Amino acid sequence: MASIYVHFPWCLAKCPYCDFVSYASERESIDHAGYADAIVREAEGRLRQLEKRGHAITIASVFFGGGTPSLWEPRELGRVLARLRALFSTSEGLEITVECNPTSLDRDRATALRDAGVDRLSIGTQSLRAEQLRFLGRLHDPDGARRAIEAALASGIARVSTDLIFGLPDQTADDARAQAETLAATGLEHLSCYQLTIEPGTQFGERKKRGLLPMADEAIVADAFLAIESALEARGLAHYEISNYAKPGQEARHNLAYWRGDEYLGLGCAAYGFVREGAGGLRWRNAIEPRRYVEGTRAIASDVLGEGDGVSVFTEALDASALLRERIMLGLRLATGLDLGAAGADLGVDPWTPERLRAIDRLAARERLVREGDVLRIPRAAWLFADDTASRLF
């Protein structure tokens, strides 16, 4: 199984914490049809490339991310989706998600997306507090967030999720808990709750470097993480991944595929793709600038996958050991953990090296890791240290 990610790079404004490739633009300034044409050309070219290399891919999910893909005219997004369905084999229960911002989602747009074949919306609420939204550079207010969620739920879209950011300066754990409870009370069956991280190259990153950005207290951030977990699990949303909660059966299948190391095809400017090849894999990235990407799709090569094909600007060959390290880093984010034995068998490597076994024993002694047969998982109380724990198993 594989997934498709489609990157739509435009938003109405660039958020100061965002390190994704995105460009501020008015809706009217975007060439909606031209970009859809480019996505279709790339999809057709990628399929030819994959077929020449002996790949037969079945698609389990399609995710439109950005940027703000809810800015895209629904008829153009729907045209892309229809072409993807025609080109690729799809699994039963195909999941199709569109990321939305409250400023570009109302009942009519949600309904139009539903009619285009979308069955899941992910709404960027981020906060229900006006002062926090201003700090985060968001264009909506708390009422706008609520209206967007209500519009999505009322549109007939099968599944709706929203994002919440915690760990903001001066935010208490009680405030984080209250916002999570309010969002869960709307009837949402999936929430993503992310700690605010300051990335280099962002507006926040530059302000932090100059000592101009207030930072949250780490102990309060940890308390907020646990408070959110307690509040959402009390409402029946299981903490199935470090940043994600869902009612049974409502987990994000697209993201689960990433965490399990499945193949994915990235379409659009700046998008990454990954396929297994031999004992390892191949990862590539598309041109970052939209104009360069669109022009590149007009002459995408059929006999090259990655850098040199006219669209890609980066290629990375990964051996089995590198893929195993990625499986460890991503798989340990899940509450169910990682079947390290199965991962090693799939990749054709022995995962139980003496060094790794010693690291497992040390982490287990510190209650940072649990081993149950071939399965490794991080206890809930140690999830805040997940990245460090995983890195010690490399």
Nearest to 101, CA basis, from 75, 126, 76: 126
* 1 confidence band (pLDDT: 50, 70, 90): confident
Report pLDDT for 279.
Answer: 87
Structure tokens that stand for 299 in this block: 């002459």
Q: Residues 28-54: pLDDT tens digits?
A: 999 999 999 999 999 999 999 999 999
- The DSSP output letter for 139 is S
CB contact burial 23-44 (16+ within 10 A = b; e otherwise)? eebeeeebebeebbbbbbbbbe
Average pLDDT over residues 142-162: 97
- Looking at residue 62, its pLDDT comes to 99
Quote the CA–CA distance of 275 and 285 in Å, as a whole number. 12
Average pLDDT over residues 67-85: 98
Rounded-to-integer distance, Cα 18 and Cα 53, Å? 36
Which residue intervals of 124-249 are DSSP H helices?
A: 130-135, 142-154, 173-185, 203-209, 218-234
Query: CA-based diameter of the chain, in Å?
Result: 59
pLDDT of residue 278: 87
Give the pLDDT band (50/70/90) at residue 55.
Answer: very high
pLDDT tens for 205-257 read 999 999 999 999 999 999 999 999 999 999 999 999 999 999 999 999 999 99
10 in Cβ contact with 66 (< 8 Å) = yes
Peptide bond into 65 cis (omega under 30): no
- What is the 3-state composition of the chain as percent helix, strand, coil, each rounded to the nearest 5? 45, 25, 35
Give tens-digit pLDDT for 338-392.
Answer: 999 999 999 999 999 999 999 999 999 999 999 999 999 999 889 999 999 999 9
**CA-based nearest residue to 369, from 353, 359, 350:** 359
The full set of domains in the chain, from first to last, is: 2-257 (3.20.20.70), 332-391 (1.10.10.10)
DSSP 348: T
SS3 228: helix
The mean of the pLDDT values for the chain is 97
Tens digits of residue pLDDT in 103-123 = 999 999 999 999 999 999 999
Nearest CA-CA partner of 102 in 121, 76, 74, 123: 123
Provide CB contacts within 8 A for 140, sequence distance 6+.
Answer: 101, 102, 103, 133, 148
**pLDDT band per the 50, 70, 90 thresholds, residue 70:** very high
